[in-house]
Amino acid sequence: MSDRSRADSAHISPSAHYTGYVWYRHHLSDAAFATPFGRWVHGLLTPIAWGARVGFGLDIEHLLLQRHLLLDARLTAAIEERGVRQVVEIACGLSPRGRRFCQRYPELRYLEADLPGMAVRKRLLLHSEGWLNGRHQVRSVDILAEQSLEALFAGLDRTEPVLVITEGLVNYFERPVIEGFWTVLAAQLKAFPQATYLTDLYPDLKEHPRYRQLRWGVDIVGRLTRGNYPLHYRNAGEIVEAFARCGFARTQVLDPALHSQGLPPITQATLVRVIEAST
């Protein structure tokens, strides 16, 4: 990876404060995950979110909940139906998922990872609340450094299934960069008897009834996060082909509108897709 690509990864963690506050607002996490900065950013974006909702029918928080809860649902199915006991959440930010799932499943080993600054913050948060222990840990990782990803997986049990999650990560990177990460990740996952990767992405849905407004919203997100926020693929077929090229054997592209159990009511055409890929 180029030095430019590595530097771009530093733009991701600040946005975690906003989503962390959104999870708290919707009763998905404890108050400890809601930072003052996250509250401030949420207040700053409230007029923009209101305008998008009223003017264009795009509810930003609703969209975030769609992806978050569908990822939760697929993780629950993996644990209860396929016996997954090892979970790695990369770019974890201030996600409460590790805390919630470790409470729900006492036998689960949950490894959270993020860039060093955010990893330190998350580790201190979990430790101060008494939630960090031998089966719930936080590590530093740079997804654009192959050795860093290899070190992250080194302590896992290679005789047991594993599931990896990234949420809110993919569309921060240009397509060659994120596909490079997927290729390295697939190679790491092939060392396990069963491995699943869950992520979300936003396709370039030109047929979407709000496509122009969607592009406007994407441009706003890009400015706020100091990136381009590219939309990589036009449809599910292109997504499946991309994951196959990167080394994944099977890929499902899940639309929250068609997999809505436990999700907020779907009142608008869905933008986000959840990907479930396995090696």
* pLDDT > 90 in the chain, percent: 56
* pLDDT > 70 in the chain, percent: 81
205 half-sphere exposure, CB direction, 13 A CA radius: 17
Q: At what angle do helices 236-245 and 175-189 cross, to 10 degrees?
A: 60
Q: What per-residue confidence (pLDDT) applies to 4?
A: 39
Write the CA distances from 243 to 42, 89, 223, 231, 233, integer angstroms.
34, 19, 28, 15, 11
Q: Could you tell me which CATH number the domain at 3-278 has?
A: 3.40.50.150
User: Which are the contacts of 4, defined by CB distance < 8 A and separation ≥ 6?
Assistant: none
Q: Which stretch of 13-17, 186-190, 243-247 has the lowest confidence by average pLDDT? A: 13-17
More confident residue, 57 or 141: 141
Q: What per-residue confidence (pLDDT) applies to 213?
A: 63
Amino acid at 212: R
pLDDT digits (tens, 9 = 90+) for 120-164: 999 999 999 999 999 999 999 999 887 899 999 999 999 999 999
User: Is residue 109 predicted with pLDDT exceeding 90?
Assistant: yes
More confident residue, 28 or 55: 28
Of 5, 10, 12, nearest to 167 by C-alpha is 12
pLDDT digits (tens, 9 = 90+) for 181-236: 999 999 999 999 999 999 999 887 665 556 666 666 555 555 554 555 677 888 89
Q: What are phi and psi of 136, to 5 degrees?
A: -125, 110
Of 192, 174, 203, nearest to 78 by C-alpha is 192
Buried b (16+ CB within 10 A) or exposed e, 54-71: eeeebbbbbbbbbbbbbb
Contact 272, 67 (CB under 8 A): yes
Place of tokens 């430019």: 4
Place of tokens 């926020």: 229
Of 53, 63, 64, 59, nearest to 23 by C-alpha is 64
Buried b (16+ CB within 10 A) or exposed e, 80-109: eeeebbbbbbbbbbbbbbbbbbbeebeebb
Strands 86-90 and 162-166: parallel
> In this structure, is the dihedral angle defined by the CA atoms of residues 100, 22, 76 and 127, taken in order, positive or negative?
negative
More confident residue, 29 or 171: 29
Contact 11, 171 (CB under 8 A): no
User: 155: which 2 tokens?
Assistant: 């302590």
